Amino acid sequence: MPRTPIKLPEHVEYLSILDENAKLDQSLEPPLGADQLKTLYKYMLTARRTDERMLIMQRQGRLATFPQSSGHEAVSLGAAFAIDKNDWFVPYYRELAGMLYRGWPLENILLYWNGFEEGASVPLGVNDLPYCVPIASQLLHAVGIGMAINIKGTKQAVLTFFGDGASSEGDCHEAMNFASVFAAPVVFMCLNNQYAISVPVSHQLKSETIAQRAIAYGMDGIRVDGNDILAVYVATKEAVEKAKNGGGPTLIEALTYRLTPHTTADDPKRYRSEEEVAVWQDREPMKRFKTYLYDKKILSSSEEAQMEEEIDREIKLAVEREEKLAKGKELNDPMHIFDYLYAEVPACLQRQKDELLEYLNSAKGK
């Protein structure tokens, strides 16, 4: 019997609207108003300044090790801006800009990266999951939410994020396959910052893109310029609308670059050159979006200066609130280790709790 070719999609598209020199393709420009565009810039700037302040705090011993998000603002915020309030937002750990836009208090984020799990408490009325550090596990949670949406018959979508390193995890493949088979309304946003800690993408996979893996799963896939917030917004908006109308999941690969170390405990000079970093610093999302806004006469230097002052004040107040909470008795009571695992504390755990309480009381009397 002769071999017959199987027809597969011929290509995966790449989308860029505002290139690295802030040159705009007007035919692709989304219909966003001046206020919306300024809102985007404000949250990008808030995330960038927060990230910088957190690094200073970490170096001062006022914050634990954390992963920075500078350079990733266009991906998390552009995508978050494309979903509705009742849609679901399932992050991994570089979605600072998107989480701030979704309504997370800054002090919660600071608490979380200072080792207090209370910081992971989702604000009331927000359809989000908290940060997820275990690689790719959040994708299964996102698909579970998507399946619940299908069962309930509500018109919602789930937006979830993961990195290029996570795309090699089994959880990632299971989530995408399941979502595609059962048409779960999930948008998979791969934040490809080109390094899985110290391993470059070229050593992680042989395919040209991560987006083309969508072909194997039978879902739509697209690569976007992850430093172009307009492109991220447009691609996500299209995928979300498709998902809500029964079109199933989409894989979006947002090509960007990690301007910072993987975490504050990492030394990227050991595995990448300063010349490489310099090239990508010229392509970073904040600078090009700012140029775009100035060119459109939407933002002025005086408005930007005022924005900087307001953001600086907001961050300082959030830090004060976080440090007060972190030093308070409520978050430092050792008895809390027993209180939030079971709805009804089992007898064996209750005995341990009683023993610890007895010990603490006796220690106070010494």
156 close to 129: Cβ distance less than 8 angstroms: no
Contacts of 353 (CB under 8 A, 6+ apart): 335, 338, 345
Q: Is 262 a catalytic residue?
A: yes
Annotated catalytic residue, options 48, 72, 213, 258: 258
Between CA 167 and CA 299, with CA 97 as vertex, the angle to 5 degrees is: 130
CA 170 to chain CA mean position, Å: 20
Between CA 251 and CA 162, with CA 291 as vertex, the angle to 5 degrees is: 20
45 close to 166: Cβ distance less than 8 angstroms: no
Q: Is 258 a catalytic residue?
A: yes
What is the three-state SS of 112-137?
HCCCCHHHHCCCCCCCECCCCCCCCH
Q: Is 48 a catalytic residue?
A: no
Q: Other CB atoms closer than 10 Å to residue 357's CB: what's the count?
A: 13
Annotated catalytic residue, options 262, 283, 288, 292: 262
Annotated catalytic residue, options 59, 271, 351, 359: 271
Burial class from Cβ neighbours inside 10 Å (0-12, 13-18, 19+) for residue 189 reads buried
Active-site residue set: 258, 262, 271
